[in-house]
Chains A and B, each alone.
Chain A
Amino acid sequence: MISRSERLAKIAYFRDGRHIPSNRMVEALNALIQPGDRVCVEGNNQKQADWLAECLAKTDPEVVRNLHLVQSVLALPEHLDIIERGQVDRLDFSFSGPQAGRLARLLEKGTIQLGAIHTYLELFARYFVDLTPQIALVAAQMADREGNLYTGPNTEDTPAIVEATAFKQGIVIAQVNEIVDVLPRVDIPASWVHCVAQAPRPHHVEPLFTRDPALITEVQVLMAMIAIKGLYAEYGITRLNHGIGFDTAAIELLLPTYAASLGLKGKICTHWALNPHPTLIPAIEAGFVESVHCFGSEVGMEDYVAAHPDIFFLGEDGSLRSNRAFCQAAGHYACDLFIGSTLQIDLQGNSSTATKGRITGFGGAPNMGADARGRRHASPAWLRAGAESRAEGGMPRGRKLIAQTVETFKEQMQPTFVERLDAWDLAESAGLDLPPVMIYGDDLTHLITEDGIAHLSRCHNAADREQAIRGVAGFTPVGLNRDKRAVENLRDRGIIQRPEDLGISLRDANRDWLAARSIKDLVKASGGLYQPPSQFRNW
């Protein structure tokens, strides 16, 4: 095993302190990387070390080969180029998003071996056990002359990757947007960083968490009303995480209006593990929110976040400090509710976003959307959910509330509810060990559709559970095959609640409830501090 100093000696002739010239980055990678190295190219779902990925894809395949990629996200074409060029033997990752189709084809061809598809937190954990990178290629906003890094609002995965690499003889290489004399703050100390180079252009950041309120439908408003009244108010949920999507954006926008009208201000949704969603602005302005810790940042939200040190986690310089690993842990252990959406749900309540021919991976949702079995501290919501699901005489313990909010049909009349998840076919065709399930049915406590809410936590046997799922599955084949009497019985027992059972009139389900109806409204609500990217603006 070659030591770090031996590796660095190879590039000593052009390494100036910790800095290396940008035009020698490919040369540096050729020299530093050994065959068989575990390499992490920092790609979070927002910030991307895109220039370093390009440089890696230009290395000599004869020299830089047999690599083991260990990285959270495979989002860039370059990540796949490296595989196609035959430089990679093995892959462990979390999420592949836009490259899901190409990745599936490469796996089917047998070009590489797939280790496993992880959640973010799992992969970070393995960095410290058996998947420690020898080479980490990371992205930061700025470096100083010493090599200290400022990662700014989009700190995200960097601390986790760097810590694992730097303290186990690995080499940390950072691309930065600019080199300055004095950093706003130090996010990564220079002694953990071995090479710094200024990228020819700023690293890419994707505005992944921006949802235009103009596109929220009445059905989504209806489901948000059901969620607020049937779930948030019912359990008094104060600590929570929201998935990305229009369904949860609708809930965020109904807090200052609908939830406030129910007298819920201060009683729900006070503490969040969440990115700075623009759609949370009205709730923050209305005084609903006390604290938000972030996985990453969001493009355009920098000034707004900086103006709210009482709510967000900011550095002394005034800008956001995000941290995906900590926020994932917070979402898993410190939140009482996760709510998100999915593509398919089966009769046991297992849900998956897998479709044939695409390997998308998981990201963070399974950690948010799983009961924290190691949790020991109590809260009223957690205790209530635990009590509901406990068999008589069982050991008292709490339970995390895990909800899925879905329309029964997607566009083009594709049913969300299915007898068998496409994940089974995908596992077979791609040779996966397990069908890729996002959230397991036994973790799911609540299901919300336009048909109502199913309190699965209140079902004590498999038959009830199946009928409760069928009971809110609308006019999908799964819904039509319900046992009508059993479903009515579940309704009498309060396990299924229709909108009218919650006192929600369909006539009230309209967009007038949205605290902001457009991106412009969000800008106004922020007092002009939110600066949306141009694709979202109409001024």
Chain B
Amino acid sequence: MRVRHSFLEASARERIHSLLDPHSFKEFCPPSERLVSPHLAQLSLSQAFDDGIVTGAGMLSGQKVLIAAQEGRFNGGSVGEIHGAKLVGLLHAAILQKPSAVLLMIDSGGVRLHEANAGIIAISEISRAILDVRAEGIPVLVMLGGSCGAFGGMGIVVRLCHTVFMSEEGRLSLSGPEVIETVMGRDEFDSKDRALVWRVTGGKLRRALGEADKLVDDDLTAFRDAASDWLKQHIKSGAAPLSYNDLCQRQDALLARCLEFTNTKDGREILAKRLSLNEPQWTIANAEEFEKSLKRADAQHTNKPLDTWKEGLQALNEEDQAFADRLFGAGQHQLQYNGYFVVGKAQTQRGPVHVIGTRDRAPIGVGVALKLSGAVLTAISEDQKTASTLPIILISETQGQLLSRHDELLGLNGTLAHVALCVDLARRSGHRLLTLVRQEAVSGGFLSFGMLGDRICALPDSQVRVMDLRAMARVTKIPLERLEGLAKRSAVFAPGAENYVLLGGVHEQWTNKQDWTEALASALDHCSAVDERSVLGAERGGRHLAASTAQRVKQQAIAFA
């Protein structure tokens, strides 16, 4: 009997060593440098010498690659300031060095709540950096099969990458089943029903749905073989950045999927349609048998035009009208809305702009997300026709992602990643992107849209957060009083737009005394396509370590090369 080395059970380091050619791995910022999280120490919590992520360079089948692996068993692989910055630094090194590929072994529940603000900004910086790497034609492969899977912001990050390999033990989604159960009740999602959890988020379901590109057995050797084959193929064919046409096709395919599985809440229905194997055959099928049993997706096209998002639009209500008047001046805008979605054009002191966004503290589900991405793609194509690239104002007003088993099943994380890819294409096409945070902007709903702006402005009295302190106390089991006390001294985890300003995650917060049309013009002047948030965070004193840590990884990568 051959001894199988489980990917699931291996540590981050073991995964890297088994994947790369023997003795080829060079770690950047290794444990001996003791880059530990000061934020965990402040809460008297255990630290890890690598802050839960291993970054470095090595060879895969003789080709140079940059690689990172998250340690899912340290604080759930969660992303904090240093953890995130190490990955950002590695991705920036990739842009300079142009390795054959970047390999990411994601194993993470998302943002580390103990340093939530720094964590979500870091995930946003990771997202931007991955998009930059892909724009250079460098393929990014995600391998997913750890105990934490990829949830929260990391679920979105995974789908920004070129290729995703998953084991059936792996999970990929946005909100965790426990969160959905806590907020929406057990009828919506029974997180104790392990079978159901995997049928909604697990590797086999994701592969059948097309959210993963290959199912791999839970075996380190199988992952190495798959990665090696993939790399050989990409050295031949290259990895062209996503084009407008690619994203339009993807937009239509995602819409088609929503129409195909309108009311589905259990992966059984999807698996039954996509596989030639029946239950329970598919449950025990190995990766090879499962791949063989995959049928081509039934519906990939809607035969509808790109701008179906225009359906049902109506004139703004009084409150929104007043808001738009203040922003652009009365009579200077033609905005419309439909439910949570708001869209249109407006005049600014710097000329015409597109306006795309959400309203009414939108919970962002698959439906709203596809309207946003559709509107962005339409704006790009309209401007192409007139040879212009008008700025896009991204109005971000969201209570976070929609907590719904149906939306998770359909890959809300992947849909939000699609929104991010569309927004990023707009930037690369020459559109300036200005984000305005209205009322509140929370976690997943903010991450894939508003946080991608060139410049992020928070309107007066608006709120930015990952989670409120009460919920944070419940999840982290740290007494609320302790968190409240610490929140007075630290900007790193507590809700508040002012904290995000200090950390560099929000560029500026407007006041009620300001003339917003002037503020808007000034902000448009200061839009920069380069992500400078970590530098800003260091300058403002809210985030001391992100920029220097990323820089340190990058320098070690350069020195090693």
Contacts and interface: CB of A to CB of B under 8 A. Distances in A.
Interface of A: 256-257, 260, 286, 511-513, 515, 517-518, 520, 523-524, 528, 534, 537-539
The B interface is mostly helix, strand or loop, or mixed, namely loop
B462 interface: no
B284 A538 contact: no
B1 A528 contact: no
Contacts of B283: 520, 523, 539
Interface stretch (B3-11, B67-75, B128-136, B328-336): B3-11
Contacts of A257: 1, 3
A331 to B, nearest CB: 28
Interface residues of B, number: 22
A436 B197 CA distance: 44
A528 B195 contact: no
Given A256-B1, A257-B1, A523 B284 contact: yes
A534 B284 CA distance: 15
A511 B9 contact: yes
Contacts of A511: 6, 9
Contacts of A260: 1
A366 B7 CA distance: 41
Contacts of A523: 283-284
Given A256-B1, A286-B1, A524-B284, A537 B195 contact: yes
B214 interface: no
A517 B195 contact: no
Nearest to A515: B1
Nearest to B220: A512
Contacts of A539: 168, 194-195, 198-199, 202, 204, 283
A538 B193 CA distance: 8
A465 B194 CA distance: 48
Q: Closest 7 A-B residue pairs measured CB to CB?
A: A538-B194, A539-B283, A537-B195, A538-B198, A256-B1, A512-B3, A528-B284
Contacts of B312: none
Q: Which of B1, B168, B199 has the most CB of A within 10 A?
A: B1
Contacts of A534: 193, 195
A528 B281 CA distance: 8
B62 interface: no
B305 interface: no
A17 B297 CA distance: 62
Contacts of B351: none
Contacts of B5: 512
Interface in B191-220: 193-195, 197-199, 202, 204
Nearest to B147: A214
B280 interface: yes
Contacts of B8: 517
A172 B281 CA distance: 44
Contacts of B281: 528
Most buried by A among B197, B199, B283: B283
Among A257, A512, A515, A538, which residue has the most Cβ atoms of chain B within 10 A? A538
B1 A517 contact: no
A534 B3 CA distance: 28
Interface in B139-180: 168-169
Given A538-B194, A538-B197, 20 more contacts: A256-B1, A257-B3, A511-B6, A511-B9, A512-B3, A512-B4, A517-B4, A518-B169, A523-B283, A524-B286, A528-B280, A528-B284, A537-B194, A538-B195, A538-B202, A539-B195, A539-B198, A539-B202, A539-B204, A539-B283
